[in-house]
């Protein structure tokens, strides 16, 4: 393999360009990518849009290089309407949760991404593609939806965040599309989010306000 070229950095991983069809995603703090590669291969085999994985070893995933940009970048650039983004996010949840669970999971469980938000959706020439499957597991579909809502709400309630206003609009539209079933597992979603080691102290401080914003959308 040629020496990879730095391409992007996230909270816990760096992405390097290998060539015109492959990128390397490398986690900085250890861990094994085998489980992530396995769930990507599974949902991909059922037609769900994920990057093709070419190699998975240790902390390294060699994957398909996607064209296009993230949904977040498209929203910021004014290239994507907020309502269209909400349709896309809700649609990805519906498509993912329509898949059967993997062997060994309860029949009523579904594959959960648990980090489905605009910065993890690539808008490509073949349609939206969901990336970053490190948190994926099986469980109740509403938990996946609730966690997406919490992530959006955290931005919406942070008055100093430059994307607070569009995040609030996107959250409202997203909740209109997914309904209030997520309220039954909202507490579990908040616990997952609170325990995310990548979160800053400030982001954790916004969780109660985020929960209030979500519940306020569905008055009793």
Can you tell me the mean pLDDT for 82-95?
Answer: 98
**Do 162 and 113 belong together in one domain?**
yes
> So what's the pLDDT on residue 175?
98
Q: Averaged over 123-137, what is the pLDDT?
A: 96
- Check whether residue 116 and residue 182 sit in a common domain: yes
Structure tokens of 24?
């390397």
Indicate the range of 100-109, 153-162, 191-200 predicted with least confidence.
100-109
Which three-class secondary structure state does DSSP give residue 26? strand
Domain span including residue 195: 69-216
pLDDT value of residue 50: 98
104-113 confidence digits (pLDDT tens): 888 889 999 9
| Chosen domain end from 64, 82, 105 | 64
Query: 52 and 114 in one domain?
Result: no
Which contacts qualify for 194-200: CB closer than 8 Å, 24 or more apart? 198/11, 198/12
Q: Check whether residue 18 and residue 73 sit in a common domain.
A: no
Residue 167 sits at φ, ψ, to 5 deg, of -65, -40
The domain total for the chain is 2
Q: Find residue 127's DSSP bridge partners.
A: 124
- In this prediction, residue 6 has a pLDDT band, given cuts at 50, 70 and 90, of low
In this structure, the answer to whether residues 22 and 117 fall within a common structural domain is no
Alpha carbons 101 and 4: distance in angstroms, whole number: 35
Contact criterion met (CB below 8 Å) for 62 and 54:
yes
Identify the band that residue 9 occupies on the pLDDT scale cut at 50, 70 and 90.
Answer: confident
Question: What angle in degrees, to the nearest 10, is found between the helix axes of 141-156 and 207-216?
Answer: 110
The mean predicted confidence, pLDDT, of the chain is: 93
pLDDT band at 1 (very low <50, low <70, confident <90, very high): very low
CATH number, domain containing residue 13: 3.30.200.20
**Residue 23 bridge partners (DSSP):** 17, 63
> What sign results for the dihedral spanned by CA atoms 109, 114, 116, 117?
positive
Task: Give yes or no: residues 30 and 122 share one domain.
Answer: no
The position carrying tokens 């099986």 is 138
Residue 61 has pLDDT above 70, yes or no: yes
Q: Where are the alpha helices (DSSP H) in the chain?
A: 34-45, 71-76, 82-97, 141-156, 164-178, 186-194, 201-205, 207-216
**Roughly what angle, to the nearest 10 degrees, separates helices 207-216 and 186-194?**
160
Mean pLDDT of 76-105: 95
Residues 54 and 119 grouped into a single domain: no
Flag the least confident range among 18-32, 107-121, 152-166.
Answer: 18-32
């Amino acid at each position: 393999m040629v020496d990879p070229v730095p391409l992007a950095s996230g909270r816990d991983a760096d992405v390097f360009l290998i060539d015109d069809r492959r990128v390397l995603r490398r986690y900085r703090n250890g861990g094994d990518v085998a489980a992530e590669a396995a769930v990507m291969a599974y949902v991909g085999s059922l037609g769900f849009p994920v990057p093709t994985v070419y190699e998975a070893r240790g902390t390294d995933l060699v994957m398909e290089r996607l064209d296009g940009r993230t949904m977040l970048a498209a929203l910021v650039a004014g290239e994507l309407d907020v309502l269209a983004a909400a349709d896309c996010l809700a649609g990805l949840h519906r498509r993912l949760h329509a898949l059967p669970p993997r062997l060994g999971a309860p029949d009523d469980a579904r594959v959960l991404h648990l980090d489905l938000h605009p910065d993890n959706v690539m808008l490509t020439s073949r349609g939206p593609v969901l990336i970053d499957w490190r948190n994926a597991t099986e469980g109740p579909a509403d938990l996946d939806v609730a966690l997406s809502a919490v992530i959006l709400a955290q931005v919406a309630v942070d008055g100093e965040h430059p994307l607070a206003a569009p995040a609030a609009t996107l959250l409202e539209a997203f909740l209109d599309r997914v309904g209030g079933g997520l309220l039954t597992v909202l507490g579990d979603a908040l616990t997952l989010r609170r325990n995310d080691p990548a979160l800053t102290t400030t982001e954790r401080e916004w969780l109660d306000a985020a929960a209030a914003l979500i519940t306020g959308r569905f008055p009793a």
